[in-house]
Structure formats: C-alpha cells, structure tokens
Structure 1
Amino acid sequence: MSKKVTMQDIADKLNISKNSVSQALRGKEGVSEETRRLVIKTAKEMGYTYVGQQKSNPQPKRTGSIGLIASDVAFSLKNFFGEIFLSIEREVAAKGKYLHIQSINKEQKEKLILPPFIEQKKVDGILIISHISNKYIQKVLDTGIPTVLVDHHHPNLEADAILTNNRFGAYLAVQHLIELGHRDIAFVGKIDYSPSYEERYEGYLLALKEYGIEPREEFIFQNAIEEEEKVAGYVRSLKNQPTAWFCVNDGFGFFVLSALKQLGMEIPKDVSVCSYDNGQLSQLSSPKTTTVDIDLNLYGKRAVDMLFWRMENPNEPIQELLLTSKLIVRESTGIAPGFGKTE
C-alpha cells in the first residue's frame, strides 16, 4: 500500500514551508500567485487531494469584462491596429462581455504602472496589442489573469500569442522580386522596433540565401527611421542604386517610392518597390505598391477566441498561432532592367 501524500511532502519537494502549502491550497493570502499555481500543480502530480480545496479555492468569480491594453504609439497607428481593435471589440461584444481599453504611455511603461482594472483584477482576461516592454508585459502576466499577446512574443514571456507569419510573408515578397530578375535588392526598416520587423528582415535574408544571392551590406538599412527626409537620405546615399527595395512596412515603402521619383527614376521601369501590411499608404501611393496583406479582422477574431479558450483552460500548454500572409501584386514591381536580354 502506497504512502499517503501529505502537505509536508509537497513542502519538502518545493523547499517551502508547510504553512505556505496550506495557504496556497486553501486560497488564502500570504503566497504569490506563482507559488499558488506551483503548489496546486505539484499536489496534483503527487496525487494529493485536499478535501476542502474545492470549497475554499473555487473558480474565480467572473466579472463579465475583458481588458485591452497597448502602447500609445500602437494606438496611434490606426491604419493597422485600428482594424484589430474594432475586430476585437465586435468579438467581445458578441460574446456578451464588456471591453475595457487603455493606452499605456511612456511613464506608465517605465514605472510599471498597471491600469486599475488590471491591478484590481476587474477583468476576466487581458489582450495586449503589440509590444509595450517585456518587463511591463511580465508584470501583467504576474497578476495571474489569463492573457493573450497580439502581434508580439518573446522567449521569456509565457503567454499565448496570435502572430503573423512575418518570415514567410517577407520571403514571398522578396521571392517575387527575385523571380522578376532582381538581384540587387535593398532592405529598409527598423528591426529592433518589434519582433515582427526583425522576422521580416529574416525572411528577406532567407529568400536571398535560397536563391544564392549574397546580401550587400550597403543596401541594408536595418536601423532606419520612418521619416520622409531620413528615408530620402538613405536612398540618395547610395552610389549604385539597387533595382528593387523591400520595405518593412507600407510607411517605409511610401517614402522610398517618393524618394526614388525625386531622383527621376521611373517605377517600375527603373526600380521596383515592395512593402508590407497592405495599409492605406500602399493604395494611395502612385503607382500603387505591391505589398503583403494581413487579415486584420481575423487577427482580432482569433485573439478573442484564444483568450476565451485560455480562460476556460488555464492549465493547458502555452500556444502560438501563426496567421498566413498573402502577397498583393500591384504596379510598383516589374521586371528588372535588362533581365532576359541577350547580347
């Protein structure tokens, strides 16, 4: 007959006091949420059943509300994140919940000040749009409230995430340029701005590698600033112009296209431009820009679905869901100058 597992056995295994184990199992204050979860997990693994646990530590009472937070910078990017916000709002309302929304400014980020609805646990779940800072996101996760990250992830953040397959999307864009005969392909973007941008840069490099094209250092602007004059300066700085540009987003694409036209270059006769996101700027530019499309409505829908699933399944493994991107070919990309001609 096997020995009955006791609270002391759990305490010894975790190297904590028996009192801490008791507090965790009873749902009492005095232990962190992380310790509480660890004790309950260990007790379950060891086969320990606390008779009063279900009464003393019931499922948390539902508030009927969901929280959504993002940096004030993300909120300002209405062409991209605005559609995601609206999609989330619709989905949350369809599920009969109320949505609390708050932007996080620089001071709140640096001082790790959480919104009151999170600090006071007045929401059943949280959606974090884009990056704020990993320290800030970790503080949100430490509350124990189910949380899903949207368009952001990091190896040290243990949270579900909805992401775009940025690497493959960028790969398809650069592959498109290569198949049009381009070999001198520039990259412009600020890759440390977000994991998404870094992944797009990786997709650019992957496509070049698979087609046996050596990246040219002078054509890579990976710490670029998204301002018209700055981008024009990058373009003018090149002694030898590339025949194509891959831009990390539509804003950079718009500025590159404008700068090239100022130099008297015809697009796509002399040079091609391809960007990412399929936002308004890609459609307002002249010519309209070839870009990579993201289904922003689906982004929001999947984020809400995942959060509600997590709320009901708090102990399931962390998941990351990648949404595919689609290349939209427009007038800004064409056959590379001289491609296909024979002497």
Structure 2
Amino acid sequence: MDRKITMQDIADRLNISKNSVSQALSGKPGVSEETRRLVQLTADELGYDYTKSRKAKPAEQNAPKNIALIASDYAFSFKSFFGEIYLSVEKEVRERGMNLFIESIDREAKESLTLPALLSTHNIDGILILSHISTDYILKILETGIPAVLIDHHEPWLQADSILTNNRFGAFTAVEHLIKLGHRDIAYIGDVEFSPSYQERLEGYLLALNKYGITPNEDFMFKTAHEDQDELTDFFEGLERKPTAWFCVNDGHGFLILSLLQQKGFKVPDDVSICSFDNGQLSQISTPKITTVDIDLKYFGKKAVEQLCWRIENRDDPIHEILLPTKLLIRESTAERKN
C-alpha cells in the first residue's frame, strides 16, 4: 500500500513550514496568494486530499489568534531595553484576548537558518521579530508568508512593517540642545555598523550641525566605537583638540565617556557636557545623571501588536514604517559652555 501523503511532504517539497501549508490549504490568512497557489498545485501533484481542509471550521475561525515573538539570545539579554518592549507586547496581546508564544533564536539556529519550532508546533497567525537576528534569517521567516512586524529594526531587503524610533529627529534634538548651550566642538560616539539606529543617530547629529552652520570635524566622530573603555581612551588620547561636548548613541557609551573624562580630571558639566540616548539605567544612576533621549518602550510594544493585527487583516497593503517620537530629558550632565 502506498504511503499516505501528508502536509509535511508538501512542506518539504516547497521548503516551507508545515504551518504555512496548513494555512494555505485551509484558506486561512497568513500566506501570500502565490504561496497558496503553489501549495495547492503541489498537493494535487502529490495526490494529497485536502478537500476537508479548504475551509476552516467555524470554531477555528473564531479561535483566539496565536502571536509569535522571536528574537536572538543577544537581544533577549538586554532586559532593561528589549525586556520592557517584551512586557508591553505580552500585556497588549493578553488584553486583546490572543495567545503569545515566545522563542529565542540561538547562533546555531541563526546560522543554519532553522525556523523557530513554534511555527510547526502551533498555528501561528502573526510574528513579531524583536530587533535584529540576521538579514538571511529574517528573510527566511518572511518567506513563510505569515504576517510579520519588525520591532526596532529595518533594512532595504526586508519587506515587512516595522516599528522604529525616530532616531534622526531624536539625535537632532539632543545635539541642538548642546549647540544652544554654546558648544560647537561636539563629538559623536557610536558604531554605525552595529545597528541602523546608530547610523540614523549619526545622520541626526550631522543634520543639527548643518542646521546651525557648524562644519563637521571628522576627528571628533568615532563611528566604529564599541562599548570598551580602553578603545574609548585611545580615541580620546589621540585627539589633539578635545571636544567640549559629547553625543553618545546610547547610555552605555555615555556612561563610559563620563567615567573616562572624570578619570582624566574633567568636571562634568563644568568643563564638558555629555548627552546620550535611550534613557536606560546607566544614565539614571551615574553621577551626575546623564542628559538622554527617552524612548517610550511600553508604547513600542503596544504599537507593534496593533500594527500586526492590522497587517493580518490587510496582507496585500503596502508596508508601513512607523516612527515613534522621542523626548529629550535634560539632566545634570549638560550645561552652558564656559569660555
């Protein structure tokens, strides 16, 4: 007797998840029309009987939606930033009466492009991808056809909705604050290759300098800066002329620059001002407390779930990039420049 053809056979033939096959054959949302057509053609070719699966049962149609949240191990380790976004996602999903499934992607899964197990063990209606994993891995997720929203990440190759911080305007406002205090020699500290957000914050920094007629000084821009005290010290000591203000792409860099300057005998903010980004714990516990750019992380998660629910119902609409506003929190680390 010939072996009975299963959904897994179709999934293996097309190199997609079993969940995508189920969605395609049942007529449920979550896959593109092209994927649905390929699945049906392959089912016919292999002799799979999917007549009973063409329409979802009423009970299935009314069942709560299943939402997946995935992120790299690295992203999940940042509890003070991504942890707050995760908690707000969890709260919003629960309030909408939906189910949330979470999976962490380790390096091995990322490099082998192994899809999250929850995509085959649960009937997932939508996916939230928190921060960056890898471009190839996220593309693999998007190829399943399940509606997805990126949180705090975007790239030209990723055709998916994304919820982002308005990094350019946030950085512009921070640097403008330093300029209005009389500073013109302003350093930029951050690794633009690490995250699109840091590149955008550099653009905001340059936008502010240009707006106020200040020629950017390449010597003051450390665009490959890691959060490493020795590396920052080498950069500082290599400067012939020292900046009077420092704009750092995150609070980790800001905290290290503050410590470095204090070790070198500078008084903050009497001698030099520092401004950072994110309003994380380090900016709040430092002495003095660091002026920083605040991001509403709770709203981040809420908006991501809201957009995913919309996308599930509007799969063919153009993708959206939603920029969330920031707020400058002026603290003790910035002051008027003294001549």
TM-score per shorter chain, which class?
0.7 to 0.9
Q: Residue 270 of structure 1 aligns with which residue?
A: 271
Query: Aligned-pair distance for 1:64?
Result: 3.4
1:105 and 2:87 correspond:
no
Query: Aligned-pair distance for 1:234?
Result: 2.3
Query: Aligned-pair distance for 1:57?
Result: 6.2
Query: Aligned-pair distance for 1:169?
Result: 0.1
Query: Aligned-pair distance for 1:27?
Result: 4.5
1:74 and 2:75 correspond:
yes
Listed one character per residue, the Cα deviations across residues 105-132 of structure 1 (whole Å, up to 9, x for unaligned) are 2221111111111245631111001111
Q: Which consecutive residues of structure 2, in runs of 5 or more, have no partner in the other structure?
A: 1-23, 39-50
The answer to whether the 8 Å contact 1:63/1:124 transfers is: no
Q: Once the two structures are aligned, what percentage of the paired residues are identical?
A: 55
> Which residue identity does 2:100 align to in structure 1?
L
Listed one character per residue, the Cα deviations across residues 266-302 of structure 1 (whole Å, up to 9, x for unaligned) are 0111100000001110011110000000000000000
| In structure 2, C-alpha distance between the alignment counterparts of 1:269 and 1:170, rounded to whole Å | 23
> What SS does the corresponding residue of 1:168 show, helix, strand or coil?
helix
> Which residue identity does 1:224 align to in structure 2?
A
Listed one character per residue, the Cα deviations across residues 212-250 of structure 1 (whole Å, up to 9, x for unaligned) are 111111111111111233223322332221000000000
1:203 and 2:201 correspond:
no
Query: Aligned-pair distance for 1:337?
Result: 2.5
> What SS does the corresponding residue of 1:79 show, helix, strand or coil?
coil
Report the TM-score when normalising by structure 2.
0.82
> Which residue identity does 2:243 align to in structure 1?
P
Q: Residue 173 of structure 1 aligns with which residue?
A: 174
| In structure 1, C-alpha distance between the alignment counterparts of 2:56 and 2:209, rounded to whole Å | 55
> Structure 1 residues 245 and 122 mapped into 2: Cα distance closer, same or farther (>3 Å)?
same
Query: Aligned-pair distance for 1:254?
Result: 0.2
| In structure 1, C-alpha distance between the alignment counterparts of 2:184 and 2:140, rounded to whole Å | 46
Q: Residue 239 of structure 2 aligns with which residue?
A: 238
Q: Residue 12 of structure 1 aligns with which residue?
A: none
The answer to whether the 8 Å contact 2:66/2:100 transfers is: yes
Q: Residue 333 of structure 1 aligns with which residue?
A: 334
Query: Aligned-pair distance for 1:58?
Result: 5.9
Query: Aligned-pair distance for 1:251?
Result: 0.3
State the aligned residue count: 298
The answer to whether the 8 Å contact 1:34/1:142 transfers is: no
Query: Aligned-pair distance for 1:38?
Result: 9.0
| In structure 2, C-alpha distance between the alignment counterparts of 1:232 and 1:73, rounded to whole Å | 26
Q: Give the RMSD, CA atoms, in angstroms.
A: 2.4
Write the mapping of 1:114-125 to structure 2, written as runs, cut at 5 A.
114-119=115-120, 122-125=123-126
| In structure 1, C-alpha distance between the alignment counterparts of 2:190 and 2:95, rounded to whole Å | 37
Query: Aligned-pair distance for 1:151?
Result: 0.4
| In structure 2, C-alpha distance between the alignment counterparts of 1:268 and 1:119, rounded to whole Å | 55
Structure 1 stretches (4+) deviating beyond 3 angstroms?
37-40, 55-64
Query: Aligned-pair distance for 1:34?
Result: 5.3
Q: Residue 36 of structure 1 aligns with which residue?
A: 34
Q: Residue 66 of structure 2 aligns with which residue?
A: 65
Q: Residue 41 of structure 2 aligns with which residue?
A: none
> What SS does the corresponding residue of 1:78 show, helix, strand or coil?
coil
Q: Residue 129 of structure 1 aligns with which residue?
A: 130
| In structure 1, C-alpha distance between the alignment counterparts of 2:293 and 2:174, rounded to whole Å | 7
The answer to whether the 8 Å contact 1:79/1:280 transfers is: yes
| In structure 1, C-alpha distance between the alignment counterparts of 2:102 and 2:208, rounded to whole Å | 39
> What SS does the corresponding residue of 2:269 show, helix, strand or coil?
coil
Q: Which consecutive residues of structure 1, in runs of 5 or more, have no partner in the other structure?
A: 1-25, 41-52, 339-343
The answer to whether the 8 Å contact 2:103/2:118 transfers is: no
Report the TM-score when normalising by structure 1.
0.81
The answer to whether the 8 Å contact 2:64/2:99 transfers is: no
